A and B are shown apart, each in its own frame.
Chain A
Amino acid sequence: MQYNHFIVECPRITKTNCGVCLEAIHKTDIRIKIWHYEKSEFYHLECYKPKLQQYISSRHITSYLKGEYAEKFQSWLNEWNLKFPPLDKPSHFPPKLIKHVESQQSRRKRSWLEIFKFLRPREVLNSIAFVNKEFYHLTWDQELWRHYCIIFFDVQASIVDWRAYYCTLSLQACFGCKAIIQDSEFHRCPLLNKPLCKKCRRQDSKFKVYHKNAIFSKYGINPNVLNLEYVPGFNNRKVTYHFMIEKALYSFREKNKEVILAYFRKLKGFDDLLKIVEEIDLANMDAKDNWHLPNYDQKIQHSLYPRVFNYIRSKEGGLRSLKGKSAA
């Protein structure tokens, strides 16, 4: 990575001219010196604009300024840095040192990191990092990425840049078994945007593909209401994965359950039914052997229970029929 390196000083003689305004740089001015192999460039501090639009760390500057000149330069630097997020820490910075220094700042940082560890890397990168500068800097922390590498890929190694290593792993590791695989042994599915090894693709029932008709015959639910994504598969039929169908079904039923709960909360006198609806297990709504049939709880004897169950499961019957029954 490139950085803005330069020297800041007060000139001893007034022979040099500014590279921007071409006027002489006096002894009372602050001069920026950029050293090249053959010749050096000089600028007034006011005229100088760093080439790279990025945060300038004090470790990339050599300063010979003292007293009020140093303060003036510091205020210029702060103003410039305000526009950019801070840079990543150098990799040789010992992470143990940060953890064990019991300052308020390190405790705050540690607390935030512990919270971020409960989020997915994608959430951390997509939303948390861009909330403010403090979060942005925290999302580069090695400890956080080491944690992600361990929990997602079970890696125990001494790595310098854990964030880069996580990126490499997420591009090379199989979506199913998390093993790192060779180029010839996987196919990159456009639905997942991640590699999937041939073994998982063939043996794991999660990655079995279904086309629309198969979904209807298996679950008895119109696949168009599930908001599924498809890709062209065998015979140019649009297919999707089994685990994606299960996920879509769960969220579809969750919405239906909320609708039912809201409906019966409005009508008074259905407290017993509300309790039953709240306890319905959304993950097991289909009978094991005959998926297209509902998996009722045989112990429940409420007259409205089958209709409510069917509505949550597949949106069958609609609220109208329930309205008629509940009024009766």
Chain B
Amino acid sequence: MFYNFNKIEEVKIRLRSAEGHICEVEESAALMSSFIRSMIEGFNEVTEVSLPNINSVVIEKVIEYMRHYKDKDPPIIKKPIISSKMEENTSAWDAGFIDADWNMVVDLMTAADYLMMIPLRDLCCAKMACKFKGRSIDELRAEYHIENEFPSEMEENLEFQHPWRLE
């Protein structure tokens, strides 16, 4: 009798999204998430994890990240970031991966926080910080539709009390 050990398939973890859609990921990749790791280690023979806070698009993106860093450590992003360009702060793959619209980055950050994946959460935070870096107050307000909550009298007071804001 011959056994072909190469053909032994790895256990797959099924991640159930908010819509009920199921995405499969290899166990070794899924262990990157401390949340899933604790589920697997806590309850033996768990193969399905329900993630009611995360939609299927975001789960697929998370799985892409997990698979890429399955066998290696993700790069550490230096705090504070040195540039508003993501390519200069981290690896080219990471910069390309996180090059998405604002809502997607926010959803991904929430998912990373929920799944306890610190490198992915840091990547999302760095991307958002890049969008803030080097922008003036008015530019930030205009871009993210933030109303000026400070009345004009107070604005003058702030300028007087905190002259360094104009530096």
Contacts and interface: CB of A to CB of B under 8 A. Distances in A.
Interface of A: 53, 82-85, 107, 111, 114-120, 123, 125-133, 147, 151
Residue of B122, B128, B164 ringed by the most chain A CB atoms within 10 A: B128
A127 B151 contact: no
Given A130-B158, A133-B150, A118 B126 contact: yes
Contacts of A123: 80, 132-134
Interface string B85-125: 00000000000000000000000011001000000011001
B137 A131 contact: yes
Contacts of A119: 80-81, 129, 132-133
Interface in B64-100: 77, 79-81
Contact of B150 (A85, A116, A128): A85
Interface of B: 77, 79-81, 109-110, 113, 121-122, 125-126, 128-129, 132-137, 140-141, 146-151, 153-154, 157-158, 162, 164-165, 167
Contacts of B129: 115-116, 118-119
B81 A83 contact: no
Interface SS of chain B: helix
A130 B148 CA distance: 9
A158 to B, nearest CB: 22
24 contacts: A84-B154, A114-B121, A114-B125, A115-B132, A116-B129, A117-B125, A118-B79, A119-B80, A119-B129, A119-B133, A123-B80, A123-B132, A125-B165, A126-B164, A126-B167, A127-B137, A127-B165, A128-B132, A128-B140, A130-B158, A131-B146, A132-B146, A132-B148, A151-B79
B136 A127 contact: yes
Contacts of A82: 151
Closest 6 CB pairs of A and B: A118-B129, A114-B125, A115-B125, A133-B149, A120-B80, A115-B128
A130 B157 contact: no
A141 to B, nearest CB: 15
Given A83-B154, A115-B128, A115-B132, 10 more contacts: A53-B157, A83-B153, A114-B122, A114-B125, A116-B129, A118-B81, A119-B81, A127-B135, A132-B148, A133-B150
